[in-house]
Structure 1
Amino acid sequence: MTAATADAAPQPVVGLDLGGTKIAAALFGADGTVLARHSRPTPARSGAAAVLDALAAAAAEVDPGRTASVLGVAAAGVVDPRTGQVTSATAAIRGWAGTPLGPALADRTGSAVACDNDVRATAGPELAALRAGHGGHASLLFAAIGTGVGGAIAADGRMLHGAAGIAGHLGHLPSPEATGLPCTCGATGHLEVIASGPGIAAHYERLTGAPVDRLETVAARAAGGDAHAVTAITTGAAAAGRLLGGLANALGPDRVVVGGGVPRIGPLYGDALRAAFTAELMAPLHGLVPRAPLFGPDAAVRGAAALPTTLPLHRPGARR
């Protein structure tokens, strides 16, 4: 059960970022200063209860004096901030789908909890910066391309969450380049299976018949002149660019941000994505180009810490 949003008065807050391999935690002062940090491995193979316990332990580590009465959690999976539930998830964290993240963590910590998907939380600081320059009425299209393809969409200054918290999951839009390829969600032909890091590596394997361990190996071979590696990278990049360009026509964003690990492999990827994106744009959007994120590694945990100011709070002992 959800409760009212946090009071407007600034107060210390704990931000937690839950990924498939690592939990990052930070205690933020009322002025936004980081007062303490902690990280620990995610017990992803040990089940949801173990992950919740690890989140609670990470919060206690950065705030042993319990100075913060609220905490925000940015979590992998499809998260509905209104119910606090993980409504869908991959197998990266065993048994994560269906977890009552907000209520269960509130019970473990004794603090009020706001929660959201990790990509939307990461996009939060981007939206705040954009709103500051657009009178509060900014629109943002944010893509995170890494092991999967995630996203966030904000319209007229408000982050969209959608039914069951599913808004922004760009990786599960259809992509012609992925036609017939099975997706982790159970469907076929989605962007994630051609544009993510594993998707690009898998495409290289299909082209060559040779196994490859990771995306960085494909990037190194492309830099060495391997035509199949170049094709795998530019195909994934162009698929992402075309999809983002089409979405830009539908949404009219003031800013398009492309982050995650895949764009960091170099200009071959970035140039192909930008060219495909630009080719899709309608005339009023000419000049709009995908940008790198403004914020660094702290973006997710900082965005998590801001969630209690905008999302429902789940309180200890609330009826389920």
Structure 2
Amino acid sequence: MTELRTRAPAAAPGAGTLLRLLRDGRPRTRSELATVTGLARSTVTQRVDALLASGLIGPAGEAVSTGGRPPTTFSFRPDARVVLGADLGATHARLALTDMTGVVLAQECADLDIALGPGPVLDWVIDNGRSLLEAAGRGEEELLGLGIGLPGPVQHSTGRAVNPPIMPGWDDFDVPGHVRRGLPVPVLVDNDVNIMAIGEHRVAWPAASHLMFVKVATGIGCGIVSEGNVYRGAQGAAGDMGHIHLPGSGDRPCRCGNTGCLEAVASGAALAETLRAEGVAVHGARDVVELSRRGSVPALRVLRQAGRDVGEVLAASVNMFNPSVIVVGGVLATAGDHLLAGVREVIYQRSLPLATEQLSIVSSTAGESAGVIGAAVMVIDHCLSPENVDMLVSGA
């Protein structure tokens, strides 16, 4: 005899579902929320009261009356909590305080070598995070969470770096645990290029379902947005295009241990090395950019060739992934259109016509703030998910 099994009824939408609707910025009445969610008016009132008590929403005026007393509308309050986003590069650190839509309220920047190790670098994040909170007149209890981008492979589920080539002492270090001892809030960690992709997607291309963000700086990496979400791969290594072998690159050694990688030829560090060999006095990527802005022919030449080299690797990715947008960012992209022109030249020449027919290849709109905005948005979307909001308003 076949055993009949009954499926448990789906749980009724909680306060988090209502907040997800209200995060689009449009005020709604209790009646509208009941219509959209299918909940009883009394249940909606209970959920709205919980969100009001948490401060996440507030009254937003009255709707047009259809007879009788005009109903009250409610809207999301982005300033109810604040978020910290940190973008840690190979030689720099940027930290921002944002509201719950990712709008930057204040920033702090510093030259900071990631090779100093997790203790000094993360303590800089903690100390300056507290300073930003204090300067903004916000308490630590108002901090929703903290997001961090690291310049190396990261296992997003644990927040730990995995065999990072330029980060001595960081391998398998418990980044969230260390930070939470100083700031006891949710801490999320990802690769720095992934958070840049998130930031650029939110700021400039929210409607783009398939986007690639390419960072060309001291190193080279790529963040992939697919169906509106970051694609990290099985172990968080997706998008590590800097260590793809570049045909014709010779045997130039790469910091990953291989030779002929794209990063060994076209990164800011590689271009500086090339120029030094020609007798040009440069130290790193920012010096290359400064020279190009002054019209240095050698600097402009290596930038254009770097764009072609990046385009060579991206052309295969365009055929494989078929993005609608490729955004080129990082410090070398601030040198003007020279790098971008090289990228476009090769992609449009080498990729399939169908894949490039609707493809936009553009410079970053968010610029150097892309990383901190993306780190903050990563935290916001996590902490304001319906499940986490339900726990927050219940006091869990």
| Smaller-chain TM-score bracket | 0.7 to 0.9
Q: Of 196, 200, 211, which residue of structure 2 is paired with 1:122?
A: 196
Q: Of 86, 96, 120, which residue of structure 2 is paired with 1:16?
A: 86
- Given that 1:179 and 1:190 are in contact with CA atoms closer than 8 Å, whether structure 2 keeps it comes out as no
Q: Of 326, 338, 347, which residue of structure 2 is paired with 1:277?
A: 347
Q: Residues 301 and 277 of structure 1: is their aligned pair in 2 closer, same or farther, counting only changes over 3 Å?
A: same
Q: What is the rounded CA distance, in whole Å, between the counterparts of 2:161 and 2:261 in structure 1?
A: 21
Instruction: Note if 1:73 corresponds to 2:73.
Output: no
Percent of aligned positions that are identical: 27
Q: What is the rounded CA distance, in whole Å, between the counterparts of 2:130 and 2:297 in structure 1?
A: 51
Structure 2 partner of 1:246? 316
Q: Of 213, 218, 226, which residue of structure 2 is paired with 1:147?
A: 218
Structural RMSD (CA): 2.9
Q: What is the rounded CA distance, in whole Å, between the counterparts of 1:217 and 1:72 in structure 2?
A: 30
- How far residue 63 of structure 1 moved from its aligned partner, in angstroms, is 2.0
- How far residue 34 of structure 1 moved from its aligned partner, in angstroms, is 3.5
- How far residue 147 of structure 1 moved from its aligned partner, in angstroms, is 1.0
Letter of the structure 2 residue corresponding to residue 249 of structure 1? N
Stretch deviating more after TM superposition (117-126 or 217-226): 217-226
Q: Residues 160 and 181 of structure 1: is their aligned pair in 2 closer, same or farther, counting only changes over 3 Å?
A: same
- Given that 2:204 and 2:366 are in contact with CA atoms closer than 8 Å, whether structure 1 keeps it comes out as no
Q: Residues 27 and 211 of structure 1: is their aligned pair in 2 closer, same or farther, counting only changes over 3 Å?
A: closer
Stretch deviating more after TM superposition (244-253 or 102-111): 102-111
Q: What is the rounded CA distance, in whole Å, between the counterparts of 1:223 and 1:130 in structure 2?
A: 30
Letter of the structure 1 residue corresponding to residue 173 of structure 2? T
SS of match in other structure, 2:162? strand
Q: What is the rounded CA distance, in whole Å, between the counterparts of 1:95 and 1:256 in structure 2?
A: 33
Instruction: Note if 1:213 corresponds to 2:282.
Output: yes
TM-score computed with the length of structure 1 as normaliser: 0.82
Q: What is the rounded CA distance, in whole Å, between the counterparts of 2:102 and 2:342 in structure 1?
A: 38
- Given that 1:82 and 1:311 are in contact with CA atoms closer than 8 Å, whether structure 2 keeps it comes out as no
Q: What is the rounded CA distance, in whole Å, between the counterparts of 1:74 and 1:181 in structure 2?
A: 28
Gaps of 5+ in 2: 1-15, 21-55, 57-77, 385-396
Structure 1 partner of 2:25? none
Structure 2 partner of 1:58? 128
Q: Considering only CA atoms, is the larger Rg found in Structure 1 or Structure 2? A: 2
Instruction: Name the structure with the higher helix share.
Output: 2
- Given that 1:80 and 1:86 are in contact with CA atoms closer than 8 Å, whether structure 2 keeps it comes out as yes
How many pairs align?
299
Stretch deviating more after TM superposition (139-148 or 61-70): 61-70
Q: Which one scores higher on RCO, CA 8 angstroms, separation ≥ 6?
A: 1
